[in-house]
Every structure is written in structure tokens, then in C-alpha cells.
Amino acid sequence: RWLDEALRLIARLTDGPLVVIGSSMGGWIALHVALRRPHRVRGLIGIAPAPVFTEWGYSDEDKLKLVAEGRIEQDNPYGGEPQLTTRGFWESGEANRLMHGPIDLGVPTRLIHGPGDPDVPWERSIALADHIRSDDVQTVLVKDGDHRLSRPQDIALILHAIEDVSTPA
């Protein structure tokens, strides 16, 4: 359902080639979009992408509670309301995992991650790069980068990556 909505928005709001960009779980969505619209996608940027987010960040107790109660709430490290995970969201994540085999993208791909990321292990970007079948995949580790990669120098790096994958070879 979430992917269908994303594809409907892309069809309604855009024309021509696309560079799909996603941060964290948005990286998971961007991968799915690229796989389902290969004729439209010129490049992919993943910022601390989380294509298999159900593999980390949840204890066995959390998983049991999801099954039993249908939801869990966790502290939100970014403030505000607790972070809610529902059983439906979890099941969607499990059903749409991408790192169980080759990912046939065939487009320039840039994965940018900070080893200081407390939310998505940076090793996930390295593993993801290994799964992506494209002749042009680069993984950039920003030594002092966090999950958001939102400092001016991080934004400059992301903009350079967008320019890089947008330029026809």
C-alpha cells in the first residue's frame, strides 16, 4: 500500500528521468521505487538506508510484544512522542526485505552513511552495496557523521552525489 501510494505520487507529480533519494527507511522505499520504475530512474541516493530495518533495533521482547499486542512504543531519540511500531508496519517490513539476494538496479547508486549513526548500523550500507547489481555503486562513509547527515558539509556531499548520478555517462 505504501509503495503503491509512492508510485501514484511519482506518476502524478513528475515527468522524465528521476533520481530517487531516501534517508533511513526512505532509503528502503527509494530502492523499491527504483526496482519498480527502472525505465524512469536514472540514479539512486541512499542516506543511511535501512532496507532491512526489522533485523536490528528490536529486542526479542519487542518482537514478542508486537505479536501479542500489535504495537510497541520506544523512546524517540529525536524528542517528541514515542516512536510507534505497529504489527502491520513490521509485517510489511518483513515482507518487503531486499537484502536476501541480488538487487538488480543497473543505475548509478550512492550510499552515504556515518559510522556514528546510532539508528542504522553503517555496515548495512556496505552490505547493501554488495547486493546491488550495478556497474556504478559507491559507498561513502562520513567518519564523524550521524544518522541525519544534516550538517552543511553533509548536505554538500549529498548534493554532489545527486549531481554525480544525474549526469549521463
Residue 25, C-beta contacts closer than 8 angstroms, at least 6 positions apart: 50, 53
Measured CA angle at 119 (ends 82, 107), to 5 deg: 125
Structure confidence at residue 54 (pLDDT): 85
Of the listed ranges 15-19, 53-57, 118-122, the least confidently predicted one is: 53-57
> Over the stretch 41-86, which tens digit does the pLDDT of each residue have?
999 999 999 988 888 778 899 999 999 999 999 988 888 899 999 9
What's residue 101's pLDDT?
A: 93
Backbone angle region of 57, left / alpha / beta, with phi > 0 → left and psi within -120 to 50 → alpha: left
Marked catalytic residue, from 23, 32, 117, 125? 117
For β-strands 71-74 and 83-86, DSSP reports them as: antiparallel
pLDDT, tens digit, 9 for 90 and up, residues 22-43: 999 999 999 999 999 999 999 9
147: annotated active-site residue: yes
Q: Which of 24, 32, 113, 154 is catalytic?
A: 24
The reply to whether the predicted model has a pTM over 0.85 is yes
Neighbours of 55 (CB within 10 A): 14
Give the residue-averaged pLDDT of 147-152: 96
Q: What is the pLDDT of residue 58?
A: 85
- Tell me the C-alpha to C-alpha distance, in Å, between residue 82 and each of 20, 69, 75: 29, 16, 5
HSE of 69 in the Cβ direction (CA atoms, 13 Å)?
11
Mean pLDDT of 83-112: 92
Residue 117 falls in the annotated catalytic set: yes
**pLDDT given at position 169:** 67
- Report the percent of the chain where pLDDT is more than 90: 78
User: 23, 113, 125, 147: which one is catalytic?
Assistant: 147
